[in-house]
Chain A
Amino acid sequence: MQLTLEFGGGLELLCESVKIHKVNVDPPNGPEKFIMKDLLSWVRTNLIKERPEMFMKGDSVRPGVLVLVNDCDWELSGQLDTTLEDKDVVVFISTLHGG
């Protein structure tokens, strides 16, 4: 499954200052069911190079990190349960840096 992941608001600093990552993910439970929860643990293992606590808390993002799936607030699509599909664009933005 091909996904575009974008990190902003300072989160890019946790993945070697690269903002946009085009990635190929192998859904662990088959291509039918890949949800945000799975993606977060994939990102944590494969993209985050430092201070993972700035990105995650428990099995979700840290409060204050906004998530958009195809430019739509993930609070509208079920947050961790949001189902992802091939070519989806997921954006993570920290609100915690600077004013």
Chain B
Amino acid sequence: MEESNTKLTKKGGGRLCCICNQRRAALKRPKTLEQICRECFYEVFEEEIHQVIVDNQLFKPGERIAIGASGGKDSTVLACVLAELNRRHNYGLDLFLLSVDEGITGYRDDSLETVKRNEVQYGLPLKIVSYKDLYGWTMDEIVKMIGLKNNCTFCGVFRRQALDRGASLLKVDKVATGHNADDIAETVLLNILRGDIARLSRCTSIVTGEDGPIPRCKPFKYTYEKEIVMYAYFKRLDYFSTECIYSPNAYRGFAREFIKDLERIRPRAILDIIKSGEDFRISTSTKMPEQGTCERCGYISSQKWCKACVLLEGLNRGLPKMGIGRSSRGLNNDPKKDKYMKQGNGTKSIENKQCGSLDF
């Protein structure tokens, strides 16, 4: 450590932190372009998130909160920071880790090992819900049946619902997810590219699903991915970073790359895209679907059967294409309710983040 310090000074990279003016700067903040040292970085990183939590009243004292935990960088840093802020600022929260086991050999089983270590490292009780228990199918079995096309539809729909079911088993008041500013900017772009104004206005909300069983919130809405990864690196946090073996969503990949290219030229672009997404809300007159419950399983649904039940029915009847793509043939043909689908251009829902990474 000593050695590398002298070396850096020699190299001319030893500029001082612009906050404390004492220690050597360790990174350039994308949000502000400030050059700051490691210690000041921890401080501003954590306190900015605290400020977002306070300003948006994300939590109330005494609440039970599940952190959607994939073992990846975002949710690992979220667990670490929320545990720390809860102590430091006396939020009075009962925090839990909640993970979904999709049943993907060599991917999820490994990342769950990371989450199990996080349980010990942060002292947060862990609950794992599995596709196999909930639906009778693992992702490996589903892929064997349907092949590699469309498997992300299953993953996205099942995971979203699995998380809700896990959350209700834990009796939590809210689920916090690790979606960061880059993720949200990317989703704004994708929704614009698809002309999906209903989702465009929802995707920038810091709290969603308040009308559903369990609301979700995004404490990292304004947190840059670069800073999350730097934080995890400097603190030597234990996270898992292998791509889901069933993943690729090419369209999302391009949007991701575009955002990263923009960020290199002008890092503020990420916050500006989020801002644009928020402002679009004003002019939208698109009707949101009526919320009812699934006749089969009782989960919230704007149609007769929820998406998971439609997909599951297809799997169990050996017709795995059922429920994929345009409106689900046969099972949900209420013309009034179908209207929303058409307004949304009949496109599949854009899952937040590609399959295998944490998207709820």
A98 & B13 in contact (Cβ 8 Å cutoff):
no
B27 & A76 in contact (Cβ 8 Å cutoff):
yes
Question: Closest residue to B3 on the A side, CB-wise?
Answer: A87
A98 & B244 in contact (Cβ 8 Å cutoff):
yes
B243 & A97 in contact (Cβ 8 Å cutoff):
yes
B28 & A75 in contact (Cβ 8 Å cutoff):
yes
B13 & A69 in contact (Cβ 8 Å cutoff):
yes
| Of A5-13, A23-31, A37-45, the one with at least 4 CB within 8 A of chain B | A5-13
Residues of A within 8 A of B26 (CB): 71-73, 76
Question: Closest residue to A82 on the B side, CB-wise?
Answer: B13
Instruction: List B residues 34-62 near A (Cβ within 8 Å).
Output: 35
Q: How far is the CB of A51 from chain B (nearest CB, A)?
A: 11
Known: A95-B73, A99-B70. 9 other contacts (CB 8 A): A66-B230, A72-B8, A73-B28, A75-B27, A76-B15, A77-B11, A94-B241, A95-B228, A98-B358
Give A80-93 as 1s and 0s: 1 = Cβ < 8 Å from B's Cβ atoms.
Answer: 00110101110101
Residues of A within 8 A of B358 (CB): 98-99
Instruction: List A residues 15-62 near B (Cβ within 8 Å).
Output: 62
Give B155-195 as 1s and 0s: 1 = Cβ < 8 Å from A's Cβ atoms.
Answer: 00000000000000000000000111011000000000000
Instruction: List B residues 304-360 near A (Cβ within 8 Å).
Output: 353, 356-359
B64 at the interface (CB under 8 A from A): no
B225 at the interface (CB under 8 A from A): yes
The answer to whether residues A98 and B357 also contact, given A76-B35, A93-B229 and a CB cut-off of 8 A, is yes
Give Cα distance in the complex from A15 to B180, angstroms: 28
Q: Contacting A66 at CB < 8 Å: which of B3, B226, B257, B261?
A: B226
Q: How far is the CB of A88 from chain B (nearest CB, A)?
A: 7
B241 & A10 in contact (Cβ 8 Å cutoff):
yes
Give Cα distance in the complex from A33 to B229, angstroms: 30
A95 & B4 in contact (Cβ 8 Å cutoff):
no
B357 & A83 in contact (Cβ 8 Å cutoff):
no
A10 & B243 in contact (Cβ 8 Å cutoff):
yes
The answer to whether residues A72 and B13 also contact, given A97-B242, A98-B72 and a CB cut-off of 8 A, is yes
B233 at the interface (CB under 8 A from A): yes
- For the residues of A in contact with B, the DSSP-based class is loop
Give Cα distance in the complex from A97 to B228, angstroms: 13
B296 at the interface (CB under 8 A from A): no
A8 & B241 in contact (Cβ 8 Å cutoff):
yes
- Total contacting residues, chain B, CB less than 8 A: 49
Q: How far is the CB of A13 from chain B (nearest CB, A)?
A: 7
Give Cα distance in the complex from A20 to B359, angstroms: 30
Give B3-27 as 1s and 0s: 1 = Cβ < 8 Å from A's Cβ atoms.
Answer: 1100110111101000000001111
Give Cα distance in the complex from A81 to B70, angstroms: 37
Q: Contacting B7 at CB < 8 Å: which of A66, A68, A70, A75?
A: A70
Give Cα distance in the complex from A88 to B8, angstroms: 10
Give Cα distance in the complex from A64 to B270, angstroms: 13
Q: Contacting A95 at CB < 8 Å: which of B7, B8, B229?
A: B229
Residues of B within 8 A of A89 (CB): 4
Q: How far is the CB of B230 from chain A (nearest CB, A)?
A: 7
Top 4 nearest A-B pairs (CB, nearest first) are A63-B260, A73-B27, A77-B13, A98-B72
Question: Closest residue to A98 on the B side, CB-wise?
Answer: B72
Residues of B within 8 A of A76 (CB): 13, 15, 25-28, 35
A99 & B359 in contact (Cβ 8 Å cutoff):
yes
A96 at the interface (CB under 8 A from B): yes
B75 at the interface (CB under 8 A from A): yes
Q: How far is the CB of A5 from chain B (nearest CB, A)?
A: 15
A95 & B242 in contact (Cβ 8 Å cutoff):
no
B240 at the interface (CB under 8 A from A): yes
A85 & B233 in contact (Cβ 8 Å cutoff):
no
Give Cα distance in the complex from A69 to B230, angstroms: 13
Residues of B within 8 A of A68 (CB): 233
Residues of B within 8 A of A64 (CB): 225, 256-257, 260
Give Cα distance in the complex from A88 to B225, angstroms: 26
A99 & B73 in contact (Cβ 8 Å cutoff):
yes
Residues of B within 8 A of A9 (CB): 73, 229, 241
